[in-house]
Amino acid sequence: MDHSDRLRRNAASKAQAINDGQEWSAEELEWLYSWDGSASYLEELAELLGRTIEACREKFYKSRRTGVTVTRTVTTTRTTTTVYRGWTEADGDGWD
């Protein structure tokens, strides 16, 4: 692929780049780091991420140079529910 072909394909990807110029999320970077180096997969990633092809290529290589890693924080909430089943003999009479 020559330079003019790359520019043409990038210009075409700009029409679908709804996230062009926005910050990259951790999830987007995870997807980007799955790139296998092929032009066809890079085009798919750019479309999926709403970015231009060249923005994806640039972010991929710059991140590798600077050693950026993706971390994800997961927060869980635990809810305990107590169900009242009424008085039973095991409860006693409460007069002890």
Q: Does 76 have pLDDT greater than 90?
A: no
Q: Identify the pLDDT of residue 32.
A: 93
Look up the pTM and report it. Answer: 0.62
Q: Does 72 have pLDDT greater than 60?
A: no
User: Of the given ranges (7-11, 37-41, 67-71, 83-87), which has the lowest mean pLDDT?
Assistant: 67-71
Contact 66, 24 (CB under 8 A): no
**Cβ neighbours of residue 13 closer than 8 Å, sequence gap 6 or more:** 43, 46, 47, 51, 52, 53, 54
Q: Does 34 have pLDDT greater than 70?
A: yes
